[in-house]
Structure 1
Amino acid sequence: MKIKKTGTGAIAALALFGSSFLLGSPTIAGTQQTEPTTTAAVNTLNSAEIQELENFWTEYQVPEATQQALLLKLEQGEMWDSLDPEVSSVHTEKLTTDSENLVIETYPDGSISVSGTSSPQEQEEGISPQSVTDCKQGSGSNNYQIKYVGCKADVNYGLLRMGFNFDYTAYKGAHGVITRHYNSFNTIIGGALSNHRFSKMSNSQVRYSADFSVAFEGFPAGWTAWMQANVTGSKAWTTHN
């Protein structure tokens, strides 16, 4: 499916690699300085980036008209609702396949966020990994506790994807503890991230955050994206802004 371009202006975003600003400067005529003429930072998403967004939306059945509207919104320098911490999702759908669970959140403008999850595995006493991927049971597990290693928390907005690996111990009938967090990863279209950091919110919550390192039209200065892994005695899941 092809996304039709609905605007004549360039998409208002920063290209993923090697982008630059197109900024006007004041014009001086004699001793008179005219009003500054400024062209906002503009870069056109290339065909590969458009295709990547198209594939993401199509995979999760976002209507073509909505896809076009989201591209136009980006072109006009407006933040998608899925990336706006002030906007809540209006619909949540859970899908299960043989290999994974998915939590798909839809926002008022039609943008989506997708959290990838493992399909629950049958474990002793019903303890199983949920809402994380790639968990494997580690050594040292017993009737009281089960240790998981290599778990992956992953949140994808299409324009931005963030995640990391972590290990945790699930205790029967009690709390869970994240024992290690590592290997953060991200992809971003139309921008760049900086100041990557982990924050241990509690023994059972670890957050991965990053800031936009350059101006991105439509996003406030200092905008931060974050996603978080959470565990209890019986499951693990992700949250995000």
Structure 2
Amino acid sequence: MATLALLGSTLLGSSVAVADIQPQDETQPTQVNSLSAGEVQELEDFWSDYEVPKTTQADLLSKLEQGKVWDSLDPETSPATTEELTVDSKNVVVETYPDGSIAVSSTSVPIQKTDAVSPQSVTNCKQGSGSNNYQIKYVGCKADVNFGLVRMGFNFDYTAYKGAHGVITRYYNQFNHIVGGALSNHRFSKMSQSQVRYSADFSVAFEGFPAGWTAWMQANVTGSKAWTTHN
């Protein structure tokens, strides 16, 4: 597991990280209430990466298969603790909820432009061409929110203007993963010049989850800082 080092508490703000769930009047999704061995292992690996105790993991699996929603996916429940970390050149926020479920949000750390040759990657947030004393352009940044059960994210480029003003100029490469379910109707919404949201509807959900849920996560920028929020 990557070594986790504490960051300062000012980078990402108090509302972080990937999925707000709102009831809709759309067609109700198919419901399931069991996990395959592979899906259980996937969830256990995710929790173990962030040191969730084995007893808590077992409780969360039991809760899910009984048709009970985890606190991390309940918009009425706030996290009990929030920890800001740096992991493999990413700014990471780990929110732990009362039942032990977690939400992990991350944005890639911008790398300043140098004369050194570096590999090109859409997941590596870099200073791009056209930067000057008035503006700095960042390209290939990645926003990612992971609840274990649902993961969503995308890449984006943005320009940081002198005076702590930031504009998202491009958003692309949306990605998602859901355990024991399915998502549909994927879409981007530009909430403002500095906020872009990626949303998707649950078309298959666990029994006990409200029908017609929409999961969303969002990238936000201001100046040279970027962070995520979620429902």
Relative to the length of structure 2, the TM-score reads 0.79
CA distance, structure 2, for counterparts of residue 79 and residue 98 of structure 1: 31
Q: Does 1:176 align with 2:150?
A: no
Question: How has the CA–CA distance of structure 1 residues 138 and 121 changed in structure 2, closer, same or farther, with 3 Å as cutoff?
Answer: closer
**Structure 2 stretches lacking a partner, 5+ long:** 1-29, 115-122
Q: State the match for 1:167 in structure 2.
A: 157
- Identify which of 96, 104, 107 aligns with 2:86: 96
Q: State the match for 2:220 in structure 1.
A: 230
Q: State the match for 2:40 in structure 1.
A: 50
Query: Higher RCO, 1 or 2 (CA under 8 Å, sep at least 6)?
Result: 2
CA distance, structure 1, for counterparts of residue 201 and residue 88 of structure 2: 36
The Cα of 1:64 is off from its aligned counterpart by 0.8
Q: Does 1:239 align with 2:229?
A: yes
Structure number with the higher strand fraction is: 2
Task: Summarize deviations over 1:44-92 as a string: whole Å, max 9, x none.
Answer: 3111111110100011000111101100000100111111111111100
CA distance, structure 2, for counterparts of residue 97 and residue 190 of structure 1: 27
Identity %: 78
- Identify which of 139, 155, 159 aligns with 1:149: 139
The Cα of 1:42 is off from its aligned counterpart by 4.2
CA distance, structure 2, for counterparts of residue 88 and residue 44 of structure 1: 27
Report SS of the residue matched to 2:216. Answer: strand
Contact preservation (8 Å) 2:110, 2:127: no
Report SS of the residue matched to 1:155. Answer: strand
Residue type of the alignment partner of 2:129: S
Q: Does 1:218 align with 2:169?
A: no
**Structure 1 stretches lacking a partner, 5+ long:** 1-20, 22-40, 125-132
Residue type of the alignment partner of 1:118: S
CA distance, structure 2, for counterparts of residue 80 and residue 237 of structure 1: 24
Q: Which has the larger radius of gyration?
A: 1
Report SS of the residue matched to 1:213. Answer: strand
Residue type of the alignment partner of 2:196: V
Figure out how many residues of one structure are paired with residues of the other and give that number: 196
Relative to the length of structure 1, the TM-score reads 0.76
CA distance, structure 1, for counterparts of residue 145 and residue 79 of structure 2: 14
Residue type of the alignment partner of 1:196: H
Report SS of the residue matched to 2:196. Answer: strand
Greater CA deviation, 41-50 or 176-185? Answer: 41-50
Question: How has the CA–CA distance of structure 1 residues 149 and 121 changed in structure 2, closer, same or farther, with 3 Å as cutoff?
Answer: closer
The Cα of 1:108 is off from its aligned counterpart by 1.0
Question: How has the CA–CA distance of structure 1 residues 50 and 224 changed in structure 2, closer, same or farther, with 3 Å as cutoff?
Answer: same
Q: RMSD between aligned alpha carbons?
A: 2.1
CA distance, structure 2, for counterparts of residue 207 and residue 149 of structure 1: 18
Contact preservation (8 Å) 1:91, 1:107: yes
Report SS of the residue matched to 2:171. Answer: strand
Residue type of the alignment partner of 1:84: D
Report SS of the residue matched to 1:67. Answer: helix
Question: How has the CA–CA distance of structure 1 residues 69 and 98 changed in structure 2, closer, same or farther, with 3 Å as cutoff?
Answer: closer
